Amino acid sequence: MSLYIFPLFKISIDVVIVFKCLFVSLSYFTLICETIKSILSENDFYKKTSFALGLRAITNYIFTFVYLVTLPFICVEKLGALKKTSFLGFAGVLLLLSIGFYYACDSTEKIRKIQFFTKGNVFRNLNAFVFSFTCHQNIVDVQNENALLSVRSLICNIGAVYACTTLIYVCFGISNYYAFRDKNIDSTIFYTWTPGKIKTTALIIYVIFLCVTIPLHVNPIKMQVSEIFGFKNIWHKRFLGIFVSFIMFILAILEIANYKFASKLVSQTFSAILVFVLPCCYYLFWKGEKRIVFYVMSAFCAICGMLCFIKTILDFTIWK
């Protein structure tokens, strides 16, 4: 689209997608490492082994094994090869949703009015919202691999995906809020759950879900970087995927960045630009006929995206 509307945006979009997916991958790797450590610490597994190893050492060994299992999926050439793993992730989401409903039904607290909306800064949780709905950079590859897919069918698929995603988020959020509304709910809801076999099972499912999701974010990095530098050989792309994932793996295992930092950084910087700024600039710079309503909406979203980006940069630098 940018080649027709504003060609200079093409390289900018490629760079934004690459950095966005890099930080998303980093956030997932750190979350996997943190979740594995949580499983081991809550069950005292590392104390029950006959090896004189600490919690961090066993976490790193298991995390390394998980990374090696993920590598073959990172090296696939097309997204179509990840259909089965994606279905596995979807099944894991449904299981986690079921556990959330179980906790809600098992709650012994008195039923009272639930407050879904609170007064305060509207943009306070914008990073979580943007982070949850910014996996659409794969849509270009999906469209290219399905050349016979009509625009109408593509729009229907996108709408169905976002509708299902929203429904899952809402159901999971409401059920967990109902079950743990009197507790200090962490940004990672699983840390709020009651320790036990159910929580351990849920965390294991969650790790599997994250593992099958990582290749979906590494793939755009391979595609966009290959397009920028003109890589055509499949082995160059595979090496690029291995190299990028290995860097993310090392950063996570050294605990240089945690999940909260990585997710906030990507959602309020590169994701904000990708979601709010660039699409709106398409319409603002488009030389065709414009509707005043869409023009105002595009300008408003672009300004919000830039303010979100600037605020986050200041939070991590001057206002830290």
> Could you read off the pLDDT of 194-242 as tens digits, one per residue?
778 888 888 888 888 888 888 888 888 888 888 788 887 888 888 888 9
| CA–CA distance, 253 with 30 (Å, rounded to integer) | 8
102-116, 191-205, 260-274: the lowest-pLDDT one? 102-116
Note whether 231 and 237 are within 8 A (CB).
yes
Give the highest mean pLDDT range of 28-32, 137-141, 272-276, 287-291: 28-32
Which residue reads 């079950």 in tokens? Answer: 179
Note whether 74 and 215 are within 8 A (CB).
yes
Residue 243: pLDDT band with limits 50, 70, 90: very high
The pTM of this model reads 0.78
The one-letter amino acid code at 308 reads C
138, burial (CB in 10 Å: exposed 0-12, middle 13-18, buried 19+): middle
pLDDT at 246 over 90: yes
Note whether 107 and 237 are within 8 A (CB).
no
pLDDT at site 184: 66
| CA–CA distance, 79 with 75 (Å, rounded to integer) | 10
162-166, 171-175, 179-183, 280-284: the lowest-pLDDT one? 179-183
- CA 99 from centre of chain: 21
Residue 217's nearest CA partner among 108, 86, 94 is: 86
148, burial (CB in 10 Å: exposed 0-12, middle 13-18, buried 19+): exposed
Q: Determine the Cα angle at 298 with ends 309 and 306, to 5°.
A: 10
pLDDT at site 65: 92
What average pLDDT is seen over the chain? Answer: 77
Residue 133's nearest CA partner among 159, 105, 106, 104 is: 159
DSSP alpha helix (H) spans, 44-150? 45-48, 55-74, 83-105, 126-132, 139-145
Residue by residue, DSSP assigns 252-308 as HHTTSS-HHHHHHHHHHTHHHIIIIIHHHHHHHH--S---HHHHHHHHHHHHHHHHH
pLDDT at site 64: 92
Q: What is the CA radius of gyration of the chain?
A: 21
pLDDT, tens digit, 9 for 90 and up, residues 50-106: 455 677 888 888 899 999 999 988 888 777 777 777 777 778 788 888 888 887 777
pLDDT at 181 over 80: no
pLDDT at site 214: 87
pLDDT at 145 over 90: no
pLDDT at site 25: 85
pLDDT at 8 over 70: no
pLDDT, tens digit, 9 for 90 and up, residues 146-172: 666 777 887 787 788 788 888 888 888
